[in-house]
Structure formats: structure tokens, C-alpha cells
Amino acid sequence: MRRTLLAAAALVLGACSAIDLRTPEPAITRYLLDAAVHVPVSDAVGSGVLLVEMPTARPGFDTPRIAYSRKPLAIDYYTRSEWADTPARQLQPLLVRALEASAAWRAVTAAPSPVLADQRLGVDILELVQDFTVTPSVVRLRLRLTLSEVASRRALVTRTLATVEPADSEDAYGSIEASKRALSRLLSGLVADVMSDAPTAGARR
């Protein structure tokens, strides 16, 4: 009888030890970075090829984590919300789509690509952060663009674009929605700048 009771107790204790009584951590929600870009359409039919390089980002912004700041020169990150990929990697197809819509080039392709290009566009994310040093908070976005001629490696356009967008709410989702609007505005300006400052873009072939 004693052996039977000991065996039963061991089974009960084993079952209890297998139960994880810790509170499960909330899952991380991941968001896509998208933009509704309104671009001017070129009057002239483009004939060249534009290569869009993979965008880069400054340290601190080269991560899928969503950044915010509560004091100058310091950044933190939300713990339960992230981008689906780094903003730089998500930016490349948005650039290609917007530049294709302008019809200023015969073709717009994303690097790496075996296609011989006439111009090359590089974009660097200098800042993408929700700024809590002001109330209500805002999202600050800065991009640097460089359009160059492939054959001569001569820079045709070099410019920094910046915008500030009020956040919808004081949390990660408010930052995400404001980031999308800010990116829409800057991409529209980026395409217009490239087309106006490089009037021969796409005309070499």
C-alpha cells in the first residue's frame, strides 16, 4: 500500500512540475511600411534605365525596431511592436514603384540587377523616430538622395529631404501611421526633385 501511495504521489508531483505557471509574454506585432505616393508624370517618354540601390540607414535606424526619443541624442525602441523588416529594405520597392509611375525612364529596376543602367539612385535614411520631446509627439523623417550617372559616376542630384508628421497617438501605432504619411510626402517630393533637377534623366538611350 505504501509503495502504491508513493508512486501516486510521484505521478502527481511530476504532472505539477510539467505545468508552466508563468504568465506568457505578449506576442510582438509586426507592421509593414507603406506609402501612398502621388507623383508627376513625365511629358517626355523616358528611354534610359534607372537602378535603385538598396537604401541604407544610419546606426540606430538600421533595425526593424521602431525608434522613439524622449531626450535629444537618445533613442529607445518599442518592445512589443516592430517593422516587418528594416525600413531601408522596405523602402526599395516603394521607390521603384513611385519612380516607375513617373514614366521618366524606360525601365526602373532594383539592385542587384544584371540590367545595364544609365542612372543610379541611392537613398539613405538619416532619421525615422517618434519624438516625445514635444507634446503631442511627432515623427521625424529625413532622407538623403543621390542620383548619379553610371558611366561617368558624376552626381546629378544630391539632396536631403525632411518632414515632421504629428503622431496619431502616443504609442507605437501612432508612430507607424505617422511614419507612413511622412514617407508618402517625402517620396512624392523625392520623385519630383529627381525629375526636375535631372531633366536628361533617362534620355541617354
Query: Is 151 inside a domain boundary?
Result: yes
Using a cut of 0.85, tell me whether the model's pTM lies above it: no
Query: Is 15 inside a domain boundary?
Result: no
Report which of residues 60 and 194 the model is more confident about. Answer: 60
Beta bridge partners of 139: 130, 165
Give dist(CA 31, CA 109) in Å, integer. Answer: 25
Query: Is 163 inside a domain boundary?
Result: yes
Query: Is 179 inside a domain boundary?
Result: yes
- Signed CA dihedral, 70, 72, 78, 83: sign only: positive
Number of domains into which the chain is organized: 1
Beta bridge partners of 118: none
pLDDT in tens, 94-136: 999 999 988 889 999 999 999 899 999 999 999 999 999 999 9
Torsion angle in degrees (nearest 10) through CA of 106, 110, 113, 116: 30
Query: Is 7 inside a domain boundary?
Result: no
What average pLDDT does range 71-76 have in this prediction? 94
Query: Is 98 inside a domain boundary?
Result: yes
Please, where are the H alpha helices in the chain?
A: 2-18, 87-102, 172-197
**Domain range holding 161?**
31-197
Query: Is 66 inside a domain boundary?
Result: yes
Q: Does residue 43 register a pLDDT over 90?
A: no
Q: State residue 23's pLDDT score.
A: 62
Q: What share of the chain is helix, strand, coil (3-state, %, to 5)?
A: 30, 35, 40
Q: State residue 29's pLDDT score.
A: 96
Q: What is the CATH number of the domain that holds 52?
A: 3.40.50.10610
Which helix or strand (DSSP H or E) is residue 173 part of?
Answer: helix 172-197
- The CB-based long-range contact list for 16-25 (8 Å cut-off, 24+ gap) reads none
Cell matching residue 110 = 532594383
Q: State residue 13's pLDDT score.
A: 52
- The least confident of 22-31, 72-81, 115-124, 132-141 is 22-31
Query: Is 45 inside a domain boundary?
Result: yes
